Structure 1
Amino acid sequence: MTADGLPETAAPDVPAPPPGLVMLGRFDEARGYDINRPRGSASWLFTWTTGGQGRLRQGVTTAQAAAGDLVVLAPGVPHGYGVGPGARHWRFWWVHCQARPSWLPWLIPYGAGDGVYVVTSTPATPRDRVEAAFRRMFVDARRPGAVKPAAVPDDRIAVAHDTAARELALCALEEVVLLMAAGAREPTPAPGLDPRVRRVQELLAADPGAAHTVDSLAAHVSLSPSRLAHLFTRQVGESPMRALREARLRHAARLLEGTGLPVERVAAASGFVSPFHFHRVFRERFGMTPGTYRAGGPMVGA
């Protein structure tokens, strides 16, 4: 894959770069900047805000990004982003790439739903090191011989083509993710979350492979199925069954990383009756097949 003929990365309603590339840049956009991708992206999108404020939306989840915040969007879900409401501008680094499976445990505690991860900066966050890592990533992606100058006319954008350039850029991004997760404040439960909703979340996390249904979960918390579905969706932003699927996929990812179980047994242990269905939803969620994920290989196109 080369950058020749690639669509402009931040043009409204234009598809994101294809998976397999590491493509990054630093933009400073004024009020009115708004990108919409109704089909989402086949690659992960990492954004780190250095000034102003951004607003990112994916599925039904919305995240505000202030200076120092890392917001990550997983592939396969409709998304959009732009200058935050009331802000004059948004200055940010962005990276489209394949996410290494080893990064997911660092990001999962900061999941906000719909494949959105928000790692909020604190005084303990070494912003100078994070900024330096992004600058190094940009230089490494544009190292001599890595890309033809004419291939990317916008000098704010870098594309890592050869193996060395990609690996150097990914190593720098890995440093960013680790530094942000290590220095971030611990995620806290949403204020005012109904205890019954929290109990359902605990049940899903404790045993995602169980044969949960809305009826069985509602019985655990003495609610009618319709009342639970309405309350859970309103407070969490996704339905109980959508949350169950996410919990099962995270459980499957941990099994793929930490065990030698065949993929079919991983699917069954995670609550997926059909291996075909498991392969499809896993690929939609993580941007790669279960076998590729276990091998730590590149993402495949959606």
Structure 2
Amino acid sequence: MANSLYNPADIPESPPPSGVLVPGYFRKSQSYVTHRSKGTNDWLLTFTLSGQGAFYLEDQVETCEHGDVIMLSPGTPHHYVTSGNIWEFMWVHFVPQPEWAPWFQTVYVNRALIKTHVTDVSVQQRLRAAFQRLIGDCEGFGVHRQALAMNAMEEILLVLTQRIESENRGVDPRIDEVLHHLANHFAEPLTIDELAALTRLSPSRLSHLFKAQVGESIIDTLIQLRLRHAARLLARTTERIVDIAALVGFQSPYYFSRKFHSQYGLSPSEYRKQHGK
């Protein structure tokens, strides 16, 4: 995995072994350009933080801006450049692990270039943090640095795979953004107007589109997320029920108990008796 022992621009006669990781961070000016007439023998993934870049394939041009992720498959001839004043991006050359094959091949094989735009700020932050861990572990020391770096790489790919699978199923990216926001902020006092502002849709349009694609209203989905987390807390902690209600976002313990019973057929105390550890 050491950077000094592997050059992704080289095209060896046989593929490099799985587990190879060569990550980095660039902030490049207008003069930056990289040519690869034969492509590489590994996968290349880039995540643009700011500015603008562009990838040129034989019959395709893809620009990338803040939030864009581009992945190139092995053997894809290409070159890429800074197309604005600057291009700030994180990148990694990698060879997939064998255990990634079941989910990796369903999304990425037989495609020279894959592009997705990550709009959700929390997902952007997660990708950036995973990249930072990946780069730090690859450049650092320690017996377990390779395993730690591979965990970060796997997290990046799983987050992207989940997003691309949603796109392939026809889920509107704005609805996907709302779902991610609900999952990460379910305990907060959210409103339809605030969620609509994230997607630049009107509250009524967002509500209609969400119900059409998810099958439930935004409020019902939010309540489901809160109740699911409450059930975990009831089963695994000794927190008071009134405190759990507040922790997951319910202002009224009575309303929480009523909704919980409607969902699970048990009161919170009965659920704890049956499922608590």
Question: TM-score of the superposition, structure 1-length normalised?
Answer: 0.46
Q: Quote the offset at 1:68 in angstroms.
A: 1.2
Instruction: Could you tell me which runs of 5 or more consecutive residues in structure 2 were left unpaired when the two chains were aligned.
Output: 171-277
1:167 is aligned to: 147
User: What is the aligned-residue identity percentage?
Assistant: 28
Quickly say closer, same or farther: Cα 1:170–1:56, change in 2 above 3 A: farther
1:104 is aligned to: 104
Quickly say closer, same or farther: Cα 1:94–1:106, change in 2 above 3 A: farther
2:35 is aligned to: 36
Quickly say closer, same or farther: Cα 1:101–1:136, change in 2 above 3 A: same
Q: Quote the offset at 1:102 in angstroms.
A: 3.9
Counterpart residue type for residue 107 of structure 2: L
Whether 1:186 and 2:183 are equivalent positions in the alignment is no
2:112 is aligned to: 115
Instruction: Could you tell me which runs of 5 or more consecutive residues in structure 1 were left unpaired when the two chains were aligned.
Output: 147-163, 190-302
Counterpart residue type for residue 139 of structure 1: G
Tell me if the contact between 1:58 and 1:73 (Cα under 8 Å) persists in the aligned partners.
Answer: no
Deviation string, structure 1 residues 92-135 (Cα, Å, up to 9, x no partner): 11101102424525634xx8x85111121123761111111011
Which runs of structure 2 are paired with 1:213-232 in the superposition (5 Å)? none
Deviation larger for 40-49 or 135-144: 135-144
Between structures 1 and 2, the one with greater helix share: 2
Tell me if the contact between 1:33 and 1:82 (Cα under 8 Å) persists in the aligned partners.
Answer: yes
Quickly say closer, same or farther: Cα 1:15–1:82, change in 2 above 3 A: farther
Which fold has the larger relative contact order, with Cα–Cα distance below 8 Å and residues 6 or more apart in sequence?
1
Counterpart residue type for residue 101 of structure 1: A
Counterpart residue type for residue 45 of structure 2: F
CA distance in 2, matches of 1:96, 1:6: 10
Tell me if the contact between 2:2 and 2:138 (Cα under 8 Å) persists in the aligned partners.
Answer: no
CA distance in 2, matches of 1:2, 1:136: 15
CA RMSD for the aligned pairs? 3.1
CA distance in 2, matches of 1:56, 1:177: 20
CA distance in 1, matches of 2:61, 2:168: 16
1:134 is aligned to: 131
Quickly say closer, same or farther: Cα 1:169–1:16, change in 2 above 3 A: farther
Tell me if the contact between 2:69 and 2:115 (Cα under 8 Å) persists in the aligned partners.
Answer: yes
1:285 is aligned to: none
Tell me if the contact between 1:103 and 1:177 (Cα under 8 Å) persists in the aligned partners.
Answer: no
1:150 is aligned to: none
Quickly say closer, same or farther: Cα 1:145–1:125, change in 2 above 3 A: closer
State the secondary structure of the residue aligned to 2:167.
coil
The alignment of Structure 1 onto Structure 2 pairs a total of residues equal to 162
